[in-house]
Amino acid sequence: RFGRYRRVYDSIDSTNLDALRWAAEEGAAEGSLVVSDVQTAGRGRWGRSWVSAPGSALLFSVVLRPRVSIDAGLLTAAAGLAVADGIQRASGLPTMLKWPNDVLVAGRKVAGILVEARTGGSAGDASGNAVVVGAGINLHWRRDEIPADLGESATSIAAEIEVGNGQRVPARAELLAAVLTRLDNLYGHLTAQGGGEILSAASARSAVIGKRVTVRFADGTDASGVATGIAPNGGLVLDDERVITAGEIERLRPTSARGQ
Ligand code: BTN
């Protein structure tokens, strides 16, 4: 189902933007896929840009048209899990999730996910409600090609592969197929049965739960505490029972580092 209809570009402004336009202007069906080698205006969270060199990454977006209302946080968790599982299956690398939707290998970010919604139109109007799930997976970057400003925080599949350890750098198409198959499966599960199993799977893969975190909010304020779980809406639960639905983890420390 996912990828049956597709647009494949050498270069586009942003696969998320193209998928949103496709949904709005031509009623792109659920599962429609946009892939590009390069983006000239790749979008990250909180208005940041997402940059990758030609041939170095897998960049794609999928249009979803959920018939039931789904919390954005749950969709984000399902997308994170699909990318994490897809990378692990195609490359053999162990992956973890950093709430809300970064995928880590060896503690460094290997992929980012951006879920964007378009609302409008009347019920049944093909150009109406659509959600776009976009992912950027760093695939072929060598360690010395990773931009200095990303420092130690970013990595790629190629940079982490240990030859002879059953791990390998997959072809882009193979990686895409592994992620889309998993996303199709998790999304089907989410719409039919709700988010229970997805949340337990995302919690089991979390690099955050059990750690002391500082979460930064869009308005510049922050909250600190020990992350204890993922809430039913996909939010992060802190040890004082607060549920954080929108934020970004700025610091992640073992609980023994209290007060540092
Ligand atoms: C983040 O970590 O800030 C999210 C990054 C998401 C990047 C991907 S690349 C493909 C898709 N198209 C975009 O413009 N952004 C997402």
State the distance from the centre of ligand 1 to the C-alpha of 164, rounded, in angstroms: 32
Question: For a pocket test of ligand 1, which of 13, 50, 248 has the largest count of ligand atoms closer than 8 A to its C-beta?
Answer: 50
Local confidence pLDDT in tens for the 260 residues of the chain: 899 999 999 999 999 999 999 999 999 999 999 999 999 999 998 889 998 889 999 999 999 999 888 888 899 999 999 999 999 999 999 999 999 989 999 999 999 999 998 765 444 444 458 999 999 999 998 888 888 777 678 999 999 998 778 899 999 999 999 999 999 999 999 999 989 999 999 999 999 999 999 999 989 999 999 999 999 999 999 999 899 999 899 877 777 644 33
Atom number of ligand 1 nearest to Cα 48 = 3
228 burial via Cβ count (<10 Å: 0-12, 13-18, 19+): middle
User: Is 114 close to ligand 1, i.e. is its CB under 6 Å away?
Assistant: yes
User: Is 201 close to ligand 1, i.e. is its CB under 6 Å away?
Assistant: no
